[in-house]
């Protein structure tokens, strides 16, 4: 079984924030798979589905971003899912809006959710689907405030295509592995 984690913050006030892009992608994957209603267990919203021919546990940590790794570690431990079979989807300030970057390993790059995942899983070997949200113009807005704000009207129009492309990237990882998915999706803009 694979564990696909979308990073975000729980609660309706955060639902449409840039920082909740991981949640949005996991919701799209659940809709594609026709999964049952998620259940809450170990501090996460979980749904078992089949994607790209693989058994997948979709996970949205229901703890705030900076401690989200705690619930992910509990879920992975209970289902005995090795870190190599974990895929994490999250927003990325250092990529322009609409760009994807897939890979494994590495540091947290300042992302508190990834920092928590690294601390609580104790291993950087999980796959990552970084989804670009861009940075605010220098001096115009604090990056933390930017992430906790909703997408602009122009971005919101393009958001469904971006979410679909990120979901396609997750399915490609499940079907063909990270390297093949990287070759297909890294640096590419969302589908038109």
Q: For 145-165, what is each residue's pLDDT tens digit? A: 899 999 999 999 999 999 999
> How far is the C-alpha of 2 from the C-alpha of 81, rounded, in Å?
7
User: Is 108 one of the annotated active-site residues of the chain?
Assistant: no
Given pLDDT bands bounded at 50, 70 and 90, which one contains residue 189? low
pLDDT value, residue 188: 63
Domain residue spans in the chain?
Answer: 2-185
Predicted model pTM: 0.94
pLDDT value, residue 37: 84
Q: Which residues lie closer than 8 Å to 12 by C-beta, 6 or more apart?
A: none
pLDDT value, residue 155: 95
Given the residues 19, 90, 108, 111, select the one marked as catalytic. Answer: 19
Q: 5 near 61, Cβ under 8 Å?
A: yes
Q: What percent of the chain has pLDDT over 70?
A: 97
Residue 192 has pLDDT above 50, yes or no: no
pLDDT value, residue 109: 84
pLDDT value, residue 135: 87
> For the domain 2-185, what is the CATH code?
3.40.50.1470
């Amino acid at each position: 079984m694979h564990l696909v984690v979308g990073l975000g913050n729980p609660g309706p006030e955060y639902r449409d924030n840039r920082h909740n892009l991981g949640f949005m992608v996991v919701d799209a994957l659940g809709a594609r798979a026709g999964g049952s209603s998620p259940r809450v267990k170990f501090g996460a919203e979980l749904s078992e589905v089949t994607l790209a021919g693989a058994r997948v546990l979709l996970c949205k940590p229901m703890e705030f971003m900076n401690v989200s790794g705690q619930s992910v570690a509990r879920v992975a431990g209970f289902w005995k899912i090795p870190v190599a079979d974990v895929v994490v989807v999250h927003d990325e300030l250092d990529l322009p809006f609409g760009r994807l970057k897939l890979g494994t390993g590495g540091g947290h790059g300042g992302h508190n959710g990834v920092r928590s995942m690294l601390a609580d899983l104790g291993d950087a070997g999980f796959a990552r689907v970084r989804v670009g949200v861009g940075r605010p113009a220098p001096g115009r807005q604090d990056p933390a405030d930017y992430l906790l704000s909703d997408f602009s009207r122009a971005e919101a129009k393009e958001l469904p295509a971006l979410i679909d492309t990120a979901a396609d990237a997750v399915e490609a990882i499940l079907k063909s592995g990270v390297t093949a998915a990287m070759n297909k999706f890294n640096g590419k803009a969302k589908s038109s």
